[in-house]
Structure 1
Amino acid sequence: MDSQVTENAKLAEKYKEDANQCFNNQDFNQAIELYAKAIELNPNVAVYYANRSFAYLKTECFGYALTDADKSIEIDKSYVKGYYRRAAAHMSLGKFKMALKDYETVTKARPNDKQAKMKYTECNKIVKKMAFEKAIAVDDVKKSIADSINLENIVIEDDYSGPKLEDGNVTLEFMEDLMETYKKQGKLHRIYAYKILLDVKQLFMKQSTLVDIAIPDDSKFTVCGDIHGQFYDLMNIFKLNGLPSPSNPYLFNGDFVDRGSFSVECIFTLFGFKLLYPEHFFMSRGNHESQTMNQMYGFEGEVKAKYTAQMSELFTEVYNWLPLAHCLNNRVLVMHGGLFSRDDVELTEIRNIDRNRQPPEEGIMCELLWSDPQPQNGRAPSKRGVGVQFGPDVTKNFLEKNDLDYIIRSHEVKSEGYEMAHDGKCITVFSAPNYCDSMGNMGAFITLRGKDLKPTFVTYKAVPHPDVKPMAYANSLLSLIC
């Protein structure tokens, strides 16, 4: 019996070494499988769980990462890396107070660890800032950033030669000029940036939480998934599929920003087209169109670097008004995340969501932004730690209840850029190829025609971009993760 235990322990170590190699090669899913094999053979080794936790962090399975970090600490309460991993998982989920406790444990165990001290200090700053903002917030009268902006006080410098709005309006010429300027790493003047944000906020405020889109029989319609600040890949989509226009309408299904370091360029391009073609260009909110995500994953830092802190607050206001879902010809529902923890959700309930807020941690608004499909029937706790995982039976019941054909969602990296799950009734589309310059995935978009709404997939590889690394503007605490 002892020899078998020894043999298992040796083999488990071999799996761990192989997993570490896969991790170093950025094959995180294979690493996760190999760590799991090591755990199966020898389940009482803290490092196996901590390593798998790190791999889960890399694949954005923050819920699983948290569970594994907890397990590594349960096995060995003095295992410092376990606390590091748990802190990173808490940070990724925006649970800053809980992360702070773990960083405190690390700094006490390693008082000379400069990196641990820095992370504790940074996390402490965020917690204090949030406490301060909560203390000064007035619940009944929250002053709008939009109302405090006076465009007449903004001066256009004589040497500015970039794109200019025509009589305050977006035109096709302006959009073409803007995209060319961005390709050359130029910048839009802040007066026009603010004007676009103020105008697009007014436009989104008039839209429903669930937007109905009518696609004529012979017309093409394109659905794109996550863009994540990959501006040059966004330009490639337009090159492959044509610029947006009344005869070439688009729906971008959330996560326009964060991670990629050209998020400002992406969002102003998308908002510009929304203003130019309000009835033919659509945008859904993703889980990254939120203040907490933007604080952590780069967008807030990028806006502050390229513009102002005030503008980053205005973006938060605008994002609160983004629609949460779109329905194509009353047959196909499109949302960023997925379905629900309840079986009785109807489209009317989605229409009636009060969306002008930061995403809650539970309920149907949260699930629209965060949920993921799973292959087995039923539901399970989310691998991300937010939302729910839902099976083919859940999709089937929802479609039957609401007289729909299928759903389209985004939110997950897929190696081919898309995936058809749940007997073809749950389609994932992800439009950021070689996500974070490291995943090696294809990007994809979906085209369909009004008469049959049959999805056609177009896939493409990443294109070159200027030498600015992903997460260049992200919070320094995330250096543990990315």
Structure 2
Amino acid sequence: MADAVSLKNQGNDAFKQKDWSGAIDYYTKAIEVNDKEPSFYTNRAQANIKLEAYGYAIADASKAIEIDPNFAKAYYRRAVANTLILKHSDAIHDWKAVVRKNPADKVAKAQYEACQKMVKRDAFLKAIEIADAPSAAVGLDLENMIVEDSYDGVRLKDEMTQEFLDDMTERFKTGKKLHRKYVFQIILAVKDLVYAEATMVETEVAPDHMLTVCGDTHGQYFDLLEIFRLNGFPSQKHGYLFNGDFVDRGSWSTEIALLLYAYKMMYPKFFFLNRGNHETDDMNRMYGFEGECKAKYNERVFKLFSESFSALPLATLIGSKYLTLHGGLFSDDAITLDDIRKLNRHNQRQPGQAGLMMEMLWTDPQTMPGRGPSKRGVGLQFGPDVTKRFCEKNGLEAVIRSHEVRMEGYEVEHDGRCITVFSAPKYCDSTENKGAYINIESDYKLQFNKFDAVPHPDIKPMAYANNSMMSMM
């Protein structure tokens, strides 16, 4: 037991240094020495929560409960993990157990009450869901919407201009907003553009052109600008593909979404946007984007963004060599590129808990062959053999995906056939990772580039998320 406690203490030290993976290694070694101590599992659960491995956290908490059914911290960890993957109906039972065991715990009581509200809200939203609900644009008279003389920004007419883009970029740096008319105008224009695109966009890189693939940006506006500063701004010869998760967590999500949308307006044939798992209503309600839209603009802006997110393509095929999608591969080896081409994403606005769309947005690679349960608690994991079969069957060199923090900003896995790129350095101000982006020229060689986080104004991540979420992060 002394050896196990020593390993646990080393894990605690690593955790304090924000070395979540190192902490997990020590907690795992402690468990190998003594697998009957529940606190080792709850400590590892907390480190897994930090790594967004919520499925693993739930498994660890459940094991701790199996060892000691009265261990309140284990119920707390499992409740947090289920809440963070939006499984409120599962979380509520554990919050109730924590309150019952520790009736004086005000934080747990507040979480239980918040979870009750979420369960009721989810039921209400499901009850009023209408398949063909009218657009939030109905009744929006942009033509007659007045931009007041006091507005100090560049005016936008029918077409996006470089002058407007430059002004917008600077406005956002200094905390200024766009006029709501222009916000509506940009969202509606891009919604129409992306709606008309295929579910899997197919593009080539012409001679003397370059395409840059970026991963998650998660509302880290100043780090997005750092990519452009280092790598060049979008142009007709320098295209960009942003591979989902533009929003949530970071507190400049509206700024990122609007800037990316403005570039899509400017260069519709050279600037591409794939949908991520955070371009969905349930994630936006929990992780801050809905609250940010309401705080900076209004609820209608969020609803229009939601409609535009559901219109986004789910994948981009680059030069018939690289399938680029946010999450990863599938539960069935029979799935091909043609199945993605045939998928009518407009019939299903939200990805749900199963099916092709969900898997494209949520799955992750694993080192072991075959398929396994998701460490996130949503979707699944796929091994190198799955990737190899998919690439060979579809004539691909590799799959490029995002969706996960990588400490160097990117990682090449599965014998070079699965590449993860993540473009939010120092993620949530709490993980000491680099960001990365991939440049692809007409020879289709992948050029990996890493970059560090840059300073930003003193606004914390998750500033617009609900208060109960903040206390769990």
- TM (norm. structure 1) is 0.95
Change (3 A) 1:138 1:456: closer
1:310 aligns with one of 300, 304, 310: 300
Residue identity in the other structure for 1:226: D
In the alignment, the residues of structure 1 paired with residue 414 and residue 102 of structure 2 have an alpha-carbon distance, to the nearest angstrom, of 48
| Deviation larger for 68-77 or 262-271 | 68-77
User: Deviation at 1:154?
Assistant: 4.2
Residue identity in the other structure for 2:334: D
Q: Does 1:286 align with 2:276?
A: yes
User: Deviation at 1:473?
Assistant: 1.3
Q: Does 1:151 align with 2:142?
A: yes
Which residue is equivalent to 1:360? 352
Q: Is the 8 A contact 1:162 1:187 kept in 2?
A: no
Question: Percentage identity across aligned positions?
Answer: 50
Which residue is equivalent to 1:472? 463
Residue identity in the other structure for 1:83: Y
In the alignment, the residues of structure 2 paired with residue 93 and residue 481 of structure 1 have an alpha-carbon distance, to the nearest angstrom, of 12
User: Deviation at 1:159?
Assistant: 1.6
Which residue is equivalent to 2:92? 100
Which residue is equivalent to 1:176? 166
Q: Secondary structure at the match of 1:423?
A: helix
Q: Is the 8 A contact 1:73 1:82 kept in 2?
A: yes
Residue identity in the other structure for 1:134: K
Residue identity in the other structure for 1:70: S
**Count of matched residue pairs:** 471
In the alignment, the residues of structure 2 paired with residue 65 and residue 176 of structure 1 have an alpha-carbon distance, to the nearest angstrom, of 44
User: Deviation at 1:153?
Assistant: 6.3
1:185 aligns with one of 156, 162, 175: 175
Change (3 A) 1:395 1:46: same
Deviations 1:240-261 (A, max 9, x none): 1111011111100111011111
User: Deviation at 1:164?
Assistant: 2.3
Q: Is the 8 A contact 1:337 1:409 kept in 2?
A: yes
Change (3 A) 1:44 1:154: farther
In the alignment, the residues of structure 1 paired with residue 108 and residue 308 of structure 2 have an alpha-carbon distance, to the nearest angstrom, of 36
User: Deviation at 1:81?
Assistant: 1.1
Residue identity in the other structure for 1:68: D
Deviations 1:62-106 (A, max 9, x none): 110111111111222211111111111111111111112221222
Q: Is the 8 A contact 1:56 1:65 kept in 2?
A: yes
Q: Is the 8 A contact 1:264 1:299 kept in 2?
A: yes
Q: Secondary structure at the match of 1:249?
A: strand
In the alignment, the residues of structure 1 paired with residue 36 and residue 140 of structure 2 have an alpha-carbon distance, to the nearest angstrom, of 58
User: Deviation at 1:229?
Assistant: 0.6
Q: Secondary structure at the match of 2:416?
A: coil
In the alignment, the residues of structure 2 paired with residue 110 and residue 354 of structure 1 have an alpha-carbon distance, to the nearest angstrom, of 49
In the alignment, the residues of structure 2 paired with residue 156 and residue 118 of structure 1 have an alpha-carbon distance, to the nearest angstrom, of 43
Change (3 A) 1:377 1:136: closer
User: Deviation at 1:337?
Assistant: 0.9
Which residue is equivalent to 1:418? 410
Deviations 1:199-253 (A, max 9, x none): 1111111011000012113421111111011100100111111110111111001
Q: Secondary structure at the match of 1:147?
A: coil
Which residue is equivalent to 2:82? 90
In the alignment, the residues of structure 2 paired with residue 158 and residue 371 of structure 1 have an alpha-carbon distance, to the nearest angstrom, of 49
Q: Secondary structure at the match of 1:457?
A: strand
Which residue is equivalent to 1:4? none
Q: Is the 8 A contact 1:88 1:478 kept in 2?
A: no
In the alignment, the residues of structure 2 paired with residue 416 and residue 78 of structure 1 have an alpha-carbon distance, to the nearest angstrom, of 41
2:379 aligns with one of 387, 400, 408: 387
Alignment map for 1:245-260 (pairs within 5 Å)? 245-260=235-250
Which residue is equivalent to 1:197? 187
| Deviation larger for 440-449 or 217-226 | 217-226
Which residue is equivalent to 1:237? 227
Which residue is equivalent to 1:458? 449
RMSD: 1.4
| Deviation larger for 247-256 or 309-318 | 309-318
Q: Does 1:439 align with 2:431?
A: yes
Deviations 1:269-327 (A, max 9, x none): 00000011100000001111111111111111111111112222222111111100000
Unaligned runs of 5+ in 1: 1-8
In the alignment, the residues of structure 2 paired with residue 168 and residue 470 of structure 1 have an alpha-carbon distance, to the nearest angstrom, of 34
User: Deviation at 1:162?
Assistant: 2.2
| Deviation larger for 126-135 or 434-443 | 126-135
Q: Is the 8 A contact 1:333 1:408 kept in 2?
A: yes
Deviations 1:424-473 (A, max 9, x none): 111111111111112111111100112x2110011111111000011111
| Deviation larger for 175-184 or 76-85 | 76-85
Q: Does 1:272 align with 2:271?
A: no
Q: Secondary structure at the match of 1:151?
A: coil
Q: Is the 8 A contact 1:175 1:272 kept in 2?
A: yes
Q: Is the 8 A contact 1:444 1:460 kept in 2?
A: yes
Which residue is equivalent to 2:391? 399
- TM (norm. structure 2) is 0.97
In the alignment, the residues of structure 1 paired with residue 208 and residue 142 of structure 2 have an alpha-carbon distance, to the nearest angstrom, of 43
Which residue is equivalent to 1:61? 53
User: Deviation at 1:152?
Assistant: 4.9
Change (3 A) 1:148 1:63: farther
Q: Is the 8 A contact 1:163 1:181 kept in 2?
A: no
Deviations 1:122-145 (A, max 9, x none): 222222122222222334x42222
Deviations 1:309-349 (A, max 9, x none): 22222221111111000001112110111111111111110
